[in-house]
Structure 1
Amino acid sequence: MSALTRSIDLTRPRHIEFGSGSVSMVGRWVRERGFSRVLVVADAFNAGRVDLLDLPGMVSVFSDVQPEPDAANLEMALAAAKTADAQVVVGFGGGSSMDLAKLAAVLPGSGQTIADVVGAEKVTAGRRAVLIQVPTTSGTGSEAGTRALVTDPVTQNKMAVQSVHMLADLAVVDPDLTLSVPPAVTAATGVDALAHCVEAFTNKKAHPAIDLFALEGIRLVGHWLPRAIADGGDREARAGLSLASLYGGFCLGPVNTAAGHAVAYPLGTRYHVAHGAANALIFPHVLAFNAPVVADRTAAVLAALGLPAAKESSAVFDFASRWCAGLGCEMHLSAFGVSAEDLPAMADEAHAIRRLLDNNPRDVGRDDILAMYRAAL
């Protein structure tokens, strides 16, 4: 069966509002529907600017979102949702805030725990609260998707929940909310958006209906990310990255990521490296590893980024690595405190993430992953 004839589920949020100043839509949308009890799930910084949402009624704020949230952090968010008895849950921040918001909208009062819903479509009780997602970074694309990730503190693995019930009723993507993001975070989150698009484009499940979003997302990152890093106040560059991030989110549902994210995950779960920074470090290694089996698509990725053409894996790696380093991304594991002794355990953990590795166009063995880590050390 060709990719063109293969069925694909193109699920999207019911309403997406995009553009500078669109954050004003949030409060208006809530008022028009008569809701009066709202829970905002945000990190500490965004909790300090909840007024931008202009929400009516009784507004509660859960402001203890942690980077790479774990099960304990989720339980805190769920307790806040129960206390607020919210009619509306708003995820306001990066991917961590939006992922916790998804779970806070479906789990309270459902009789299910996080352990019950890990996997695909295991949420059985639907959703009691309306869900609004408002990203403040340009990377995860979580506002567009149906997945949420939480770290299991015992196994240090990501628990992935996928449910159509976690799809936003309203996603508001206002690039102006990203103007305050510092250069290093802009770079890392931008490469995360890029990785979503690249991994979907070079995926076993790649589909023409997603390829156009993936390739345009790559082009947008290649064009606008250097400008946004150079001048954080460049509103046009910020808008370009916000659109790339949204397109990356479109890629995640029907196709998803592959080896890049699997190899990056242990950096977040073990060493609390920000997700975007982990993906930026790993991105050139996996792109080069896959190049021999998806040569045409790798060439298209390089061209979309404005990089020279290359066929040999070593050249692909060199161009991609220099590009990431030129953005200011840290490209060595040792800079994050990872030692050579840690690498075998990391390789074991990454190799166990079959839900992603099975999407990769080239089979990835445990020793292949270990070799990538050693090269990145």
Structure 2
Amino acid sequence: MASLQSPIAIIRPEIIEFGVATAGRLGNWAAGKGYRRILVISDAFNASRVDVLELPGSVSVFANVKPEPDTHNLDQVLAAAREANADLVVGFGGGSAMDLAKLAAVLCGSSQELADVVGANRVTGPRKVALAQVPTTAGTGSEAGIRALVTDPDTRAKLAVESLHMLADIAIVDPALTFTVPARTTAATGVDAMAHCVEAFTNRKAHPIIDLYALEGTRLVGRYLARAVRDGSDAEARAGLSLASLYGGFCLGPVNTAGGHALAYPLGTRWHVPHGAANALIFPHVLAFNTPAVPEKTAAVMAALGHEGRGDVGTVFEAAHAFCTGLDIEMKLSGLGVPESDLDAMAEDAFAIRRLLDNNPRDLSRNDIRAIYQTAY
């Protein structure tokens, strides 16, 4: 764990607009900047409500963002960006839409291709188009970050790009846009937001500056997630979750996630389990596994979720598992359609994600990962 003397860089968009009914402010901002050719990258549902952004000029909409997008989906987005000749790209949706928007913004008009930029700090800047992010779920925090992920359909591996050049010029977080998110998706994405915070808080790279956001993000999920699942129109609960998601995004830049996300990724790449659902299922297992390495921080996490008491592995697992099952989240791999015969391959895939596993406070071997999958099955 880092100390107060450890250097760290805090990265976030220059402008963050937060609050119910703020979505239309994007149009005012874009008009003030003189942007007249705008490409909105979205899924089919959110494409139907682009008008809420009040955008000026010529607005093109790419409405075919897929969950867990792959390189083919990115190619479609880049073709749309070239056709629109956009001077502003807007990510409007969940993490998939916002990640594709980041990549479109830096690859548009560039001689670089995706293969040239995979990894950290490989994007050649400055980018030629502006970037705005408007989340419609409360989970990924991608609006605040500098990373984007797409799946290679051949290897079924996540390709991660990290660059300051993918930081949004403006992020607008309007909790009203999340009112229509179904209860089950609200639950899963809420736990994903919490996982970002918890994995950063218990991380080998954890830093006191980021701990502030990580612990408060966890508290917000503990306070508001069940309320939002019960009543999607609860504006205070939706705002609390949107803030938790934003704080989780603040955690991702300088610290990032760890073992939980590494184990969750193969569920998405191999079996197309939504990212939030995958992280929710894995969360109690890795939190409990890490408890011996970070007992005090684990106790703080459990207190933030309303579970004061002993911090032993069994108690932590039971309480975290109960938190998720209380939200009606599917907590068995078999219930998500994952075949038991694939657990070995999943463990191999997860063990290879060193960029995350090396952040984990306790070493996770292949056998440890395989055992967690078996327990979760």
Q: TM-score range by the shorter chain?
A: over 0.9
The percentage of aligned residue pairs carrying the same residue is 66
On the 8 A contact 1:15/1:169 being kept in 2, the answer is yes
Moved more, 335-344 or 276-285: 335-344
On the 8 A contact 2:108/2:129 being kept in 1, the answer is no
What's the counterpart of residue 102 of structure 1? 102
1:152-171 mapped onto 2 (5 Å cutoff) = 152-171=152-171
Q: Does 1:238 align with 2:251?
A: no
Moved more, 107-116 or 230-239: 107-116
Q: Any idea what SS the aligned residue of 1:249 has?
A: helix
Q: Distance in 2 between matches of 1:164 and 1:177?
A: 27
1:207-218 mapped onto 2 (5 Å cutoff) = 207-218=207-218
1:34 Cα deviation from its structure 2 partner: 1.3
Q: Does 1:141 align with 2:141?
A: yes
1:311-330 mapped onto 2 (5 Å cutoff) = 311-330=311-330
Q: Any idea what SS the aligned residue of 1:3 has?
A: coil
Q: Distance in 1 between matches of 2:212 and 2:44?
A: 36
Q: Distance in 2 between matches of 1:108 and 1:87?
A: 10
For structure 1, list consecutive stretches of 5 or more residues without a partner in the other structure. Answer: none
Q: Any idea what SS the aligned residue of 1:110 has?
A: coil
Q: Distance in 1 between matches of 2:126 and 2:343?
A: 41
What's the counterpart of residue 127 of structure 2? 127
What's the counterpart of residue 7 of structure 1? 7
Q: What amino acid maps onto 1:351 in structure 2?
A: F
1:235 Cα deviation from its structure 2 partner: 0.3
Q: Distance in 2 between matches of 1:278 and 1:72?
A: 22
CA RMSD of superposed structures (Å)? 0.8
Q: Distance in 1 between matches of 2:13 and 2:328?
A: 33
1:243-254 mapped onto 2 (5 Å cutoff) = 243-254=243-254
What's the counterpart of residue 28 of structure 1? 28
On the 8 A contact 2:2/2:204 being kept in 1, the answer is no
Q: What amino acid maps onto 2:298 in structure 1?
A: T
1:203 Cα deviation from its structure 2 partner: 0.2
Q: What amino acid maps onto 1:182 in structure 2?
A: P
On the 8 A contact 2:262/2:356 being kept in 1, the answer is yes
1:125 Cα deviation from its structure 2 partner: 3.4
Change (3 A) 1:145 1:324: same
Spell out, residue by residue over 1:162-193, the C-alpha distance to the aligned partner (whole angstroms, 9 max, x if none).
01000000000000000000100000000000
On the 8 A contact 1:150/1:159 being kept in 2, the answer is yes
On the 8 A contact 1:224/1:238 being kept in 2, the answer is yes
How many residues are paired up?
A: 377
Q: Distance in 1 between matches of 2:193 and 2:310?
A: 23
What's the counterpart of residue 357 of structure 1? 357
For structure 2, list consecutive stretches of 5 or more residues without a partner in the other structure. Answer: none
Spell out, residue by residue over 1:290-323, the C-alpha distance to the aligned partner (whole angstroms, 9 max, x if none).
0011000000000001013232211110110011
Q: Does 1:333 align with 2:333?
A: yes
Q: Does 1:222 align with 2:230?
A: no
On the 8 A contact 2:91/2:132 being kept in 1, the answer is yes
Q: Distance in 1 between matches of 2:147 and 2:279?
A: 18
Q: Any idea what SS the aligned residue of 1:350 has?
A: helix
Q: Distance in 1 between matches of 2:348 and 2:190?
A: 28
Q: Any idea what SS the aligned residue of 1:5 has?
A: coil
Q: Distance in 1 between matches of 2:7 and 2:136?
A: 33
1:109 Cα deviation from its structure 2 partner: 1.8
Change (3 A) 1:35 1:3: same
On the 8 A contact 1:195/1:279 being kept in 2, the answer is yes
Q: Distance in 1 between matches of 2:126 and 2:168?
A: 13
What's the counterpart of residue 87 of structure 1? 87
1:3 Cα deviation from its structure 2 partner: 1.6
Q: What amino acid maps onto 1:311 in structure 2?
A: G
Q: Any idea what SS the aligned residue of 1:199 has?
A: helix
What's the counterpart of residue 188 of structure 1? 188
TM-score by length of 2: 0.99
What's the counterpart of residue 75 of structure 1? 75
Q: Distance in 2 between matches of 1:33 and 1:308?
A: 50
Q: Any idea what SS the aligned residue of 2:148 has?
A: strand
On the 8 A contact 1:261/1:356 being kept in 2, the answer is yes
Moved more, 306-315 or 316-325: 306-315
User: Which structure 1 residue ranges, 4+ long, deviate > 3 Å from structure 2?
Assistant: none
Q: Any idea what SS the aligned residue of 1:40 has?
A: strand
Q: Does 1:197 align with 2:194?
A: no
Q: What amino acid maps onto 1:348 in structure 2?
A: E
1:337 Cα deviation from its structure 2 partner: 1.3
On the 8 A contact 1:308/1:319 being kept in 2, the answer is no
Q: What amino acid maps onto 2:107 in structure 1?
A: L
TM-score by length of 1: 0.99
